[in-house]
């Protein structure tokens, strides 16, 4: 197989240099460009053919790297690199095959490269492939969520979240201590949270199994969440059977 043409998109110079060194240890990769901004990347993709593989940070100095790929639908596999997993779902809607959290370890990097290679039949070059058909659509599971508190950011583990609920077109997450607004929709969360622990009981609420205090079966299913014992959440009639099945999975 010919060398894998690779591009790095990273605005932090130390992180870019480290990734370049790590990739240089892999003889079957050829680094063709190292880009540092949305603007520079757009210029590059406008004037160059798509590489085989892209390593891209998400939050760049002049915007989000998603802007690049939305404007230039590249025929490349993408491995996103970032310090947070807030954007996992959106990343996997693109041609993403993996998502590496910083600091990146050489072992994890090589596993991602092996994953990329598993999509490429030996007898074909990557430019001949239909990427959308090759990518196995995984359902990424959110383990942490980034929320804003004024000018500060806070990382919240999904294990700490008792429920997500929609109110006035904003989706909030509830912990035992307080409520935080998020940038998600309930539909996005429903598809990206671990279904073993989270269930959408109705149009407005997704609950965490570990916070259910009690279940009343008459006249409707009701779930008391431990963080607010006085609040009873009704399971929609059309969700009752699925709810019962979920409880015993």
Span 38-90, pLDDT tens digits: 999 999 999 998 899 999 998 888 988 888 988 887 778 888 887 765 555 44
Distances (CA, A) of 74 to 46, 63, 94, 129, 243: 10, 18, 10, 13, 41
The structure tokens listed for 23 are 């990739």
Query: Which among 220, 195, 217, 221 has a CA at the least distance from the CA of 208?
Result: 195
* For residues 137-154, average pLDDT: 75
- Lowest-pLDDT choice from 27-36, 131-140, 149-158, 192-201: 131-140
* For residues 194-203, average pLDDT: 92
In this prediction, residue 91 carries a pLDDT of 46
Distances (CA, A) of 52 to 3, 64, 109: 9, 21, 16
């007898």: which residue's tokens?
123
- Residue 16: band (very low, low, confident or very high) from pLDDT cuts 50, 70, 90: very high
* Mean pLDDT for the chain overall: 82
In this prediction, residue 115 carries a pLDDT of 83
- Residue 158: band (very low, low, confident or very high) from pLDDT cuts 50, 70, 90: very high
In this prediction, residue 82 carries a pLDDT of 78
The structure tokens listed for 36 are 């540092």
- Lowest-pLDDT choice from 89-98, 225-234, 240-249: 89-98
Question: Cis omega (within 30 of 0) on the bond before 60?
Answer: no
* For residues 10-32, average pLDDT: 93
Residues 155 and 146: beta-carbon distance below 8 Å: yes
Between 165 and 176, the higher pLDDT residue = 165
Q: What is the DSSP letter of 159?
A: G
Q: How far apart are CA 246 and CA 190, in angstroms?
A: 14
In this prediction, residue 177 carries a pLDDT of 84
Walk me through the domains of the chain, giving residue ranges and CATH numbers. 4-134 (3.40.50.2300), 144-247 (2.40.50.1020)
Contacts of 204 (CB under 8 A, 6+ apart): 165, 166, 167, 186
* For residues 127-134, average pLDDT: 45
In this prediction, residue 230 carries a pLDDT of 65
Distances (CA, A) of 179 to 20, 121, 174, 201: 41, 48, 5, 19
Whole-model pTM: value is 0.52
- Residue 221: band (very low, low, confident or very high) from pLDDT cuts 50, 70, 90: low
Share of the chain above pLDDT 90, in %: 34
* For residues 211-225, average pLDDT: 72
Helix (H), strand (E) counts: the chain: 8, 17
């Amino acid at each position: 197989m010919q060398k894998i043409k690779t591009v790095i998109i990273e605005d932090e110079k130390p992180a870019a240099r480290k990734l370049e060194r790590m990739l240089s240890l892999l003889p079957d990769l050829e680094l063709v460009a190292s880009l540092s901004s949305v603007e520079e990347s757009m210029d590059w993709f406008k004037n160059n053919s798509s590489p085989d593989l892209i390593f891209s940070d998400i939050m760049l100095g002049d915007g989000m790297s998603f802007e690049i790929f939305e404007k230039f639908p590249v025929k490349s596999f993408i491995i996103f690199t970032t310090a947070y997993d807030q954007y996992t779902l959106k990343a996997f809607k693109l041609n993403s095959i993996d998502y590496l959290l910083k600091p990146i370890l050489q072992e994890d990097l090589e596993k991602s490269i092996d994953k990329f290679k598993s999509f490429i039949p030996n007898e074909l070059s990557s430019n001949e492939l239909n990427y959308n058909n090759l990518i196995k659509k995984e359902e990424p599971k959110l383990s942490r969520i980034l929320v804003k508190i004024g000018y500060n950011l806070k990382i919240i583990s999904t294990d700490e979240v008792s429920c997500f609920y929609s109110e006035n077109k904003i989706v909030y997450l509830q912990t035992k201590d307080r409520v935080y607004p998020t940038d998600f929709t309930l539909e996005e969360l429903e598809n990206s949270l671990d279904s073993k622990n989270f269930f959408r009981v109705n149009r407005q609420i997704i609950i965490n199994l570990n916070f259910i205090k009690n279940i009343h079966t008459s006249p409707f299913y009701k779930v008391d969440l431990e963080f607010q014992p006085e609040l009873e959440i009704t399971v929609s009639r059309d969700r009752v059977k699925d709810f019962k099945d979920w409880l015993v999975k």
